[in-house]
Structure 1
Amino acid sequence: MADSPNGRSNFWTQANALLRKNLIFQKRNIKTNIQLIAFPFILCLLLVLIQTLVNNQLDKPSNRCGCTCVDTNGDGQCERTCGIEYSTLDQAFTCSIPHPPQWPPLLQIPAPQYRAVRTNFISYGDLPDDSCRRTGSCPATMLITGNNQTFGQSLARNMFARPFNVNFSDFLNSLADDVLGSSSMTQYTNFLEPALASNFPVDFLQPQCASNSQFSVPLQLGSVTVQKDVRCVQGLHLWRNSSSEINDELYKGYRRGNPERNINEIVAAYDFMNSNENLFNVSIWYNSTYKNDTGNHPLGFTRVPRSVNLASNTYLQLLLGPATQMLFEFVKEMPKPETEIRLDFSSLLGPLFFTWVILKQFPVVLTALVYEKQHRLRIMMKMHGLGDGPYWMISYAYFLAISLIYMLCFVIFGSAIGLKFFTLNDYSIQFVFYFLYINLQIALAFLVADLFSNVKTATVAGYIIVFGTGLLGGFLFQFFLEDSSFPKAGIIAMELYPGFSLYRGLYEFSQYSFNGNYMGTPGMRWKDLSNSDNGMREVLIIIAVEWIVVLGVAYYADQVVSSGKSPLFFLQKNQKNLSSSFRKPSLERQGSKVFVQMEKLDVEQEREKVEQLLLESSTSHSIICDNLKKIYPGRDGNPEKVAVRGLSLALPQGECFGMLGPNGAGKTSFINMMIGLIKPSSGTAYVQGLDILTDMDRIYTSMGVCPQHDLLWETLTGREHLLFYGRLKNLKGDSLTQAVEESLKSVNLFHGGVADKQAGKYSGGMKRRLSVAISLIGDPKVVYMDEPSTGLDPASRNMLWKVVKRAKQNRAIILTTHSMEEAEHLCDRLGIFVDGSLQCIGNPKEVFILL
């Protein structure tokens, strides 16, 4: 696509200019970039350091499988032998267990103080009152229901009718005939039964308990002998009329707020439904409130098998007699090799820490965008011809490249130091996840930037979002993720917040890497995304969809908020080029004759000239202002402010028009309307035949602006500023170099290394001269200068005047000033601007005579 013949730069020329400027800007901020990249490096090193210190503690002999010296040959020479039989309870977890021990099957029985009693909420008369809790004698309750009450109660009576029988010389193996239970919490594995290895007593259920039905037996656990208390507990089976009654009672008997855990007061419940002598059909409720809720927990470790055995056994005994028994001797774990205790902190803490690492890019992008907005650099670039398309494409690609480099360094460094979070999970899944999220994050930054106009405010808000999201993810969102009862729809709804979708993805990576490190298996692979427990697939879909939606909304908001377009701009048809024919005088202008008659003759003649020019098919006038007005609405009880009152002005090519007036007269408001910073309240203006209301983007390509306040990048040099704006004006190669050097020389910024000095180190006068040079580079057809000589010493001011006088020969210039000397020296015509309107207009001598 070639540049247009009238000298306007095309899309790719503008994109190239912005890209070059961004690369220079990035090069100047290399120190900041190093500090940014150092953050994840330091965090990863901190994780490795903590992990090393903890693993050193875990490697101590007290935490490894126990060993002793054994004389195997009887020759007095001993060999060091290790095993669970030589280990303490703390060491046993790490030992090789080729033959796991056998443990008696148990029921989960609530502790005495938490067993079911009659209360205001549970008013069944067959429950004991709460006085039994004070004495610790409350029975362990089972609930029974079914279609046949007689049959169901007969089955229930057989559940623990056999007398307690134990062989103290072989305590564990003799317990298979007895109904045992415990209030201890179950574990992930069953290599060591917590009911036997803890301080909790073992309970045996009987219809009635004798007064001396509690005793203690020695129990050998590895190399340790413990005294285990065994006590009788009354087993109470109660009939309920339906399963819904049981559900209601179980719900009301669920105790919340216990300092250790939430528990249920009922041992188990059985619905024998339509069971009879020819059919056995039963549903079982089991007590799972004593299990550890993190991770997978097999049903065997929630003490379900004994409940199933009780129901099956009692049915056989009812049919075949009490001598019949389905013996349930033991439960045992699978064999396992020796286990080395290792904690992978990158997986344990990864979701929280790495959420902070990735989100840290958000305030960086946000502040860069708000900086351009606050210092009006975006509008300055736009006024010199940079279109929205090139700006969005290059800015987005620029931030994406920085974010990709940041994430690449993060993953490479984490992998290099051996963090399992990175090394075990498939790198292709990680790339897709990080790539999608950083795109969403950049789109969010573009959208949120429209809400801020101050860099400090945006920075504070950005970092609050970073740390707040991490903390909420770690201490709120993760709680819901690990709660199996929380609905999946609720999780998906929470993941619509981008920070939580990021946290969920990192959480999935951490779970797979932690389990892979513990089990010696690979981490997450693509096939794992089809697992119903893996939330990565839904996260990827949510992030991808949100990226597209947020990017579209951000672009729309930018067009409406920053560019000042109508909210329905996408429905408006392109306006015709008005270079061939202007609009007819408006009814509003025709109806303002009363106001015209009050104007002075010279101002009235200028208005009539404008009306005549608008009726002509062509004109040599570069600027025509048609009854331009600007009214600021009243605020806080103050009346509205009329800044510009129906200004009509015609300016031919080759003329410099000066506007004089006191502060607050409306000069800057007029300039801001002409350069597109604010919209007129009514009226319009035509620049090179283009309407400022509809064709401002096209006007920018042939316009130069020297604003009242210098809009410069602090880290770019004077030469780099001019190179950038020269490229926007379609200057290339030698023409660009020559134009830049001539501009620098004309404003006395070429010699002494000043041209290659950063603008942030310029004096106020040097910045002003650079702003004038920027406004004139690229041969713009129309130039606006708002008090260009402010802050200049006499020598610099005289030199600047020479530059402006040379420049006005082939362009139209509007210049505002407080200096009559400057106006007389530069301007072909002057207008005195007071209280928003022209008081007189003419050449400098005529105006000064009137004054």
Structure 2
Amino acid sequence: MGNMIPVHDASVNVSADDISALADFVLAGYSGYSGSPLVDSFLQNKCTPNLTLSYSFVDGNETGTQDVDCTEGLMLWRDSSWLINDDLYSGYTNRSNEFAAAYDFLSSDQGNFNLIISYNSTYEFDAYDGLPIPVFQFFGGNKPRLLEVPRLTNMASNAYLRLIGNGLKISFDFVKEMPRAGRSWSTYDLTSIIGPLPYVLTIQLLFPVILTNIVYEKQKKLRIMMKMHGLGDLPYWTISYCYFILLSMLYLLSFMVFGTVFGFTFFRLNSYGVQFVFYFAYMSLQISFAFLMATWFSNVRTAAVTGYFYVFGSGLIADYFFKPYIEDIFISRSWIILLELFPPFSLYRIVYEFSQSALLVSQIDRTGMQWSDLNDPNGMASVLTIMILEWILFLLLSFYLDHFGSFQSGIRKAVLLLHSRRAGNRSQSAQQQTTQIQEFEASVEMERTDVIKEREMVGQLLQEPNSSYSVICDNLKKVYPGKDGNSKKIAVRELSLSMARGQCFGVLGPNGAGKTTLINMLTGFTKPTSGTAYIEGMDIRLDMDKIYTGIGVCPQHDLLWENLTGREHLMFYGRLKKLKGAKLAQAIEQSLKSVRLFDGGVPDKLVQKYSGGMKRRLSVAISLIGDPKVVYMDEPSSGLDPASRKDLWKAVKSAKQDRAIILTTHSMEEAEVLCDRIGIIADGTLQCIGNSRELKTKYGGSYVLTITTMAAEEAEEEVAKLVRSISPAVSRVYRISGTQRFEMPKQEVSISAVFHVMEDAKSRMTILAWGLSDTTLEDVFIRVAKENEASSVI
């Protein structure tokens, strides 16, 4: 194609025919390819229409021939530069092999030769045009443009010379590079062959490790456990960040040392200082991005799969999608910066520029990437700026989502609600909670006298605070919204109770009674729907961070690190309680001895080798270390053998000095041994409260007579008649396979009368065994639960 040469000299009249010599014959196609060096894939002087040319080549010790077809190149005339560009653009995008070259003579005349030559770098025979120069030379060829450009220049120049005079000719033989020392194939490293992708994947491999570690602590509720023992949000994230940045630096140094030792030019030729700064910036960004991603995961396996998919997927996308954008000089820099906002693309750009700088060292006399090169238009300065800004942004966003958003197990805090509550007055809040009489007036009328007295005691303590009470619950209520069309679930109903320092308060109740919900509200696991509680004078709605520093927790399920020892657990939690040096060592030793974990090298074994009972005892020891003022124990003796259980009870008894212990259990024996006061909860309501003796006296008041006979209906009915003769007001508790249990009011019978009747009945009936006992706490528990169930039905 050509452009009309403007006529600046009136004596010269030029038309398209004057440059018809620019049309020639071009290579149309190969008949095959057998690994030979590239032939001039553009124009061939020997070509004539419909001719097949053969040429010889040498490949190592082998020789061969190669065939090419010729076709005639046609000249197309265009009247302006923009028409030429329009054809070239459409040809490049749709039919790139139709145009071999283009010539734009601009303002050329007899006195001026101004020319733009466009050559087709996407011509289908440029098989290795996209490869780096060293790789191309390894295959025995040269860049095709080194032949195309001189040939096109010769053709255009000679056409111009024929225009201005006869007999003149110009010839540019070839274009070649400056002489340089020869280089062997061994000097080219992995980057020269397959590009930046391996380095990008290697650097990113720490991302799923960081992500799964954070999610593991959340899934196993270890994060909550640490928080309940006084580790605040800011210290937690600071410690985690420092740990992961140290791990990243060790990984990075190993990565760089490995590459240097094995002689990779990627590492040796670029400034180590520049590499370290950019890698450090990316590692920091990677950690903050992992923190941000961890807020969306609650399962370690899901996080791990997603993390590795992210690493390999983003690397491949960068290599096949982002790399062409970097190499295309016509792509706007703004688009590239926009893409670099995605962290893996920023890393890819860094590695790409490092690899290109190292590659240029082998081509021209220059050094690799240096500090002075950051001012070049290579985009490195903008990448560093993007990473620093995103690092700060991701850290702030992670902290925000963790503190106010999707923190899975704890009170969800909304910013506006938090500020409005902090602006309120503590005394006004207490007054609002204690004056909600209308909401539960009907339920108060049905409460037992001991529960009413406890509610009155709470009201008095709120009006006249008493420092001897560690825990005060004021009308705590928790309602779970209905799901799938079901009605809402009231887990705890306006519960009020007080717990004095130096006492162990037992919480009993059937499954689903609301015990766990109550403990969850007191420990910050669950936000109360209404009401509140005060722990050592601090409101659970406002001061949980302060409350955590003074409490100990033994959860229902052991929350432990499998890869730490028992001693390391106690050392960690002891330091959270501000124990140091000799005091810490002494506290650890005492805690281990109190739960029988001190001997036999047990303290220094990994927790994953502990039995279930040993893990349980370690959890109890953790809850007591550091002298907390309030301790929550949820089923502390579950899974323990009798000997370990008794030792544990001794430890709990001695530990309740100057602290309040809240204990939930299904063991009536444990409740009687450990608890100074007991509250029985059913259907979310406090049914009764008092010490074991008071409860048995008030809600028992009966003798329990147990008789075992033959498992026959007639024998069982005869026993029932016998017991009714002793006490007409008797009630049968249960009947199972010949064994029956009866309750008889104490005021109607005497122990001697019962013995007399039973001894007399032995001579007339087949009685295998019988026994008389006082009411147990278990009997009280069963009776209260049944009465509540009956009232609920009514």
Same fold (TM over 0.5): yes
The alignment status of 1:624 with 2:484, answered yes or no, reads: no
1:600-679 superposed matches below 5 A:
600-679=448-527
From the superposition, tell whether residues 568 and 234 of structure 1 become closer, same or farther in structure 2 (CA, over 3 Å): same
From the superposition, tell whether residues 299 and 518 of structure 1 become closer, same or farther in structure 2 (CA, over 3 Å): closer
Amino acid at match of 1:154: V
In 1: Cα distance, 2:92 partner to 2:581 partner: 81
Q: Equivalent residue of 2:663, what SS?
A: strand
Residue equivalent to 2:86 = 248
Residue equivalent to 1:737 = 585
**Residues 150 and 175, structure 2, Cα contact 8 Å, conserved in 1:** no
How far does residue 605 in structure 1 lie from its aligned partner after superposition? 2.0
Residue equivalent to 2:166 = 323
CA offsets 1:802-846 (integer angstroms, 9 cap, x no match): 222222231111111111121111112111111111111122123
How far does residue 151 in structure 1 lie from its aligned partner after superposition? 10
In 2: Cα distance, 1:459 partner to 1:489 partner: 34
How far does residue 550 in structure 1 lie from its aligned partner after superposition? 0.9
The alignment status of 1:698 with 2:524, answered yes or no, reads: no
**Residues 23 and 75, structure 2, Cα contact 8 Å, conserved in 1:** no
**Residues 269 and 369, structure 2, Cα contact 8 Å, conserved in 1:** yes
How far does residue 236 in structure 1 lie from its aligned partner after superposition? 4.7
**Residues 628 and 644, structure 1, Cα contact 8 Å, conserved in 2:** yes
In 2: Cα distance, 1:238 partner to 1:152 partner: 22
Q: Equivalent residue of 2:196, what SS?
A: helix
**Residues 739 and 778, structure 1, Cα contact 8 Å, conserved in 2:** yes
In 2: Cα distance, 1:370 partner to 1:798 partner: 37
Q: Equivalent residue of 2:176, what SS?
A: coil
How far does residue 305 in structure 1 lie from its aligned partner after superposition? 5.2
**Residues 579 and 626, structure 2, Cα contact 8 Å, conserved in 1:** yes
Q: Give the one of 14, 23, 40 matched to 1:154.
A: 14
Residue equivalent to 2:564 = 716
Residue equivalent to 1:777 = 625
Q: Equivalent residue of 1:809, what SS?
A: coil
Q: Equivalent residue of 1:705, what SS?
A: strand
Residue equivalent to 2:322 = 477
Q: Give the one of 560, 572, 581 matched to 2:419.
A: 572
The alignment status of 1:516 with 2:361, answered yes or no, reads: yes
The alignment status of 1:591 with 2:434, answered yes or no, reads: no
**Residues 582 and 689, structure 1, Cα contact 8 Å, conserved in 2:** no
In 1: Cα distance, 2:132 partner to 2:102 partner: 23
**Residues 207 and 286, structure 2, Cα contact 8 Å, conserved in 1:** yes
From the superposition, tell whether residues 232 and 756 of structure 1 become closer, same or farther in structure 2 (CA, over 3 Å): closer
CA offsets 1:257-299 (integer angstroms, 9 cap, x no match): 8xxxx434253243546x6677766655444433624569999
CA offsets 1:442-471 (integer angstroms, 9 cap, x no match): 111111111112222211211111222222
Q: Equivalent residue of 1:159, what SS?
A: helix
Q: Equivalent residue of 2:657, what SS?
A: helix
Residue equivalent to 1:265 = 99
Q: Give the one of 374, 393, 396 matched to 1:549.
A: 393
Which segment is superposed worse, 540-549 or 306-315? 306-315
What TM-score, normalized by structure 1, do the two folds share?
0.72
How far does residue 351 in structure 1 lie from its aligned partner after superposition? 1.6
Residue equivalent to 1:427 = 272
From the superposition, tell whether residues 743 and 837 of structure 1 become closer, same or farther in structure 2 (CA, over 3 Å): same
From the superposition, tell whether residues 333 and 778 of structure 1 become closer, same or farther in structure 2 (CA, over 3 Å): closer
Amino acid at match of 2:468: S
From the superposition, tell whether residues 631 and 523 of structure 1 become closer, same or farther in structure 2 (CA, over 3 Å): same
In 1: Cα distance, 2:435 partner to 2:26 partner: 92
Q: Equivalent residue of 1:644, what SS?
A: strand
1:521-532 superposed matches below 5 A:
521-532=366-377
How far does residue 660 in structure 1 lie from its aligned partner after superposition? 0.6
**Residues 659 and 815, structure 1, Cα contact 8 Å, conserved in 2:** yes
Residue equivalent to 1:558 = 402
**Residues 450 and 558, structure 1, Cα contact 8 Å, conserved in 2:** yes
Q: Give the one of 597, 604, 621 matched to 1:749.
A: 597
Which segment is superposed worse, 397-406 or 841-850? 841-850
From the superposition, tell whether residues 324 and 648 of structure 1 become closer, same or farther in structure 2 (CA, over 3 Å): same
In 1: Cα distance, 2:235 partner to 2:144 partner: 61
CA RMSD, Structure 1 to Structure 2 (Å): 3.7
From the superposition, tell whether residues 355 and 636 of structure 1 become closer, same or farther in structure 2 (CA, over 3 Å): farther
Residue equivalent to 2:227 = 382
CA offsets 1:123-162 (integer angstroms, 9 cap, x no match): xxxxxxxxxxxxxxxxxxx24346679999824322256x
In 2: Cα distance, 1:463 partner to 1:482 partner: 28
Which segment is superposed worse, 644-653 or 324-333? 324-333
List gaps (5 residues or longer) in structure 1.
1-141, 162-177, 186-191
Residue equivalent to 1:138 = none
Q: Equivalent residue of 1:394, what SS?
A: helix
Residue equivalent to 2:573 = 725
What TM-score, normalized by structure 2, do the two folds share?
0.76
Q: Give the one of 738, 758, 781 matched to 2:606.
A: 758
From the superposition, tell whether residues 264 and 550 of structure 1 become closer, same or farther in structure 2 (CA, over 3 Å): farther
Residue equivalent to 2:732 = none
In 2: Cα distance, 1:332 partner to 1:251 partner: 27
Amino acid at match of 1:267: A
How far does residue 552 in structure 1 lie from its aligned partner after superposition? 1.1
Amino acid at match of 1:144: N
Q: Equivalent residue of 1:750, what SS?
A: coil
How far does residue 382 in structure 1 lie from its aligned partner after superposition? 1.1
Which segment is superposed worse, 281-290 or 784-793? 281-290
Residue equivalent to 1:686 = 534
Residue equivalent to 1:467 = 312
In 1: Cα distance, 2:354 partner to 2:574 partner: 49
Amino acid at match of 1:159: I
How far does residue 183 in structure 1 lie from its aligned partner after superposition? 4.0
Q: Give the one of 315, 325, 334 matched to 1:489.
A: 334
How far does residue 629 in structure 1 lie from its aligned partner after superposition? 1.2
In 1: Cα distance, 2:178 partner to 2:452 partner: 104
Q: Give the one of 421, 424, 443 matched to 2:288.
A: 443
Amino acid at match of 2:16: A
**Residues 4 and 15, structure 2, Cα contact 8 Å, conserved in 1:** no
Amino acid at match of 1:395: S
**Residues 508 and 679, structure 2, Cα contact 8 Å, conserved in 1:** yes
Aligned residue pair count: 673
Q: Equivalent residue of 1:492, what SS?
A: helix
The alignment status of 1:358 with 2:191, answered yes or no, reads: no
In 1: Cα distance, 2:514 partner to 2:59 partner: 94
Which segment is superposed worse, 478-487 or 384-393? 478-487
Considering Cα pairs closer than 8 Å and 6+ residues apart, tell me whether 1 or 2 has the greater RCO.
1
In 1: Cα distance, 2:54 partner to 2:520 partner: 94
Q: Equivalent residue of 2:87, what SS?
A: helix
In 2: Cα distance, 1:797 partner to 1:530 partner: 71
Amino acid at match of 2:176: E
In 2: Cα distance, 1:316 partner to 1:333 partner: 25
Q: Give the one of 330, 352, 365 matched to 1:507.
A: 352
CA offsets 1:201-254 (integer angstroms, 9 cap, x no match): 72479xxx8x9x979899999999999999997665444344333333333334
Amino acid at match of 1:664: G
The alignment status of 1:289 with 2:122, answered yes or no, reads: yes
In 1: Cα distance, 2:150 partner to 2:259 partner: 45
The alignment status of 1:455 with 2:300, answered yes or no, reads: yes
Amino acid at match of 2:258: F
**Residues 585 and 611, structure 1, Cα contact 8 Å, conserved in 2:** no
In 1: Cα distance, 2:631 partner to 2:384 partner: 50
